[in-house]
Amino acid sequence: MIRPELAKMKGYIPLDPVDVLGKQAGKGVAGVIKLDGNENPYGCSPRARRAIARFPYYNYYPDPEQRELRALLASYTGVPAERIVMGAGSDELIDNILRLFVRPGDSVINCPPTFGMYPFSTEVCGGVVVGVPRKADFGVDVAAVGRAASGARVVFIASPNNPTGNVTPREDILALLETGLVVVVDEAYYEFSGETVAPLVGKYPNLMVLRTFSKWAGLAGLRVGYGMFPEDVAVALMKIKQPYNINAAAQAAAVASLKDLDYLQGTVKAIVKERGRLMKRLQSLKWLTPYPSEANFILCRVGPEAKAVWQYLRQNGIFIRYFDSPALREYIRISVGKPEHTDAVIEALREFRKAYPFKGERMAN
């Protein structure tokens, strides 16, 4: 009875929660170093935590229009509140955008390696994924997207891109807008890069920009994202979304976060500083190649041993991301944590290398 294309679909591989990881590593939660989800290692704003505890109206449905939150976001982003739509994570907005623009059989352009939710939600919505691989430097192949554009409806561009860390330059976004496709620029890591095309929203009928509270604001567990849209698209998205999609606790926490920007920007600054330190330490390991990153993670090319590295770290309670896909089989992605997490992951990588010399090395030694 199940739609056959969904019955055979692979599905998204999500992360396990920290308590499950602790059990797996035989360490307990406190012993886990979690560098697999690009989450904020400093936690959420203390004001957000208090706001959740003190909110008096959990017995009532939450604001379906998220009025207070969108008004605060208007001043945070410079985009008027009428153009801002909230999602239960930006993941929900990806899904709602596809529901709005894609009919069964329509094509959606995906530029791998990139965020796995784009092809996932496209397939769930009955769309057809057209892959236009990124170039060797992980830049978007704008000319190839242009060639694939006729007959397609939407293109997703994560900038900075997950998992590669690079920003797509504004001139590339402008060229993509020329194709007439719906161009969704996913700025989940904007606060770590400082680069945005949000000021262009409303100037182009086909530009939409997504953001989230999951990464910089430490609210991944509460699921709060938002998008900035041309006005008619915002109206349509407000109409088709689940009415009470952002729960009351999430709204209270996001509002309090936007009133605690000094604190949160302090943690962003600490993470950006630590990104530089992690990069230098990774560069000192000559057997892997870290890629420059504008986000809060670093992609490394390891070679055929990548999966073994991931497994070795897991056994030692250090969780990083490994993608079992053809393009990323030889890579690992490490989220930027606190300084002590950097020290632990570098130490473990050194131990791995001592315990498991690479093929050929054993004889050379």
Ligand X SMILES: *Cc1c(COP(=O)(O)O)cnc(C)c1O
Binding site for ligand X (CB under 6 A): 38, 89-91, 115, 158, 162, 186, 188, 212, 214, 220, 225
Least separation in angstroms between residue 293's CB and ligand X is 12
Q: Is the peptide bond before 113 cis (omega within 30 degrees of 0)?
A: yes
Parallel, antiparallel or unpaired: strands 207-212 and 182-186:
parallel
Cβ nearer to ligand X, comparing 164 with 179? 164
Least separation in angstroms between residue 211's CB and ligand X is 8
Least separation in angstroms between residue 210's CB and ligand X is 7
Closest-by-Cβ residue to ligand X is 89
- Cα separations (Å) of 347 from 100, 292, 353? 48, 21, 10
Residues 6+ apart with CB under 8 A from 163: 113, 114, 297, 299, 321, 323, 328, 331, 333
Least separation in angstroms between residue 90's CB and ligand X is 4
- Check if the beta carbon of residue 117 is closer than 8 Å to that of residue 94: yes
CA dihedral 100, 89, 197, 162 (to 10 degrees): -110
Residue whose C-alpha is closest to residue 251's, from 71, 31, 37, 14: 71
- Three-state SS at 74: helix
Cβ nearer to ligand X, comparing 115 with 352? 115
Q: Which element (helix H / strand E) includes 333?
A: strand 331-335
Least separation in angstroms between residue 107's CB and ligand X is 21
Cβ nearer to ligand X, comparing 115 with 312? 115
Parallel, antiparallel or unpaired: strands 152-158 and 107-110:
parallel
Least separation in angstroms between residue 253's CB and ligand X is 13
Cβ nearer to ligand X, comparing 36 with 260? 36
Cβ nearer to ligand X, comparing 206 with 212? 212
Parallel, antiparallel or unpaired: strands 107-110 and 128-131:
parallel
- Check if the beta carbon of residue 157 is closer than 8 Å to that of residue 111: yes
Least separation in angstroms between residue 186's CB and ligand X is 5
- Cα separations (Å) of 104 from 151, 195, 217? 13, 34, 36
Cβ nearer to ligand X, comparing 90 with 316? 90
Cβ nearer to ligand X, comparing 121 with 316? 121
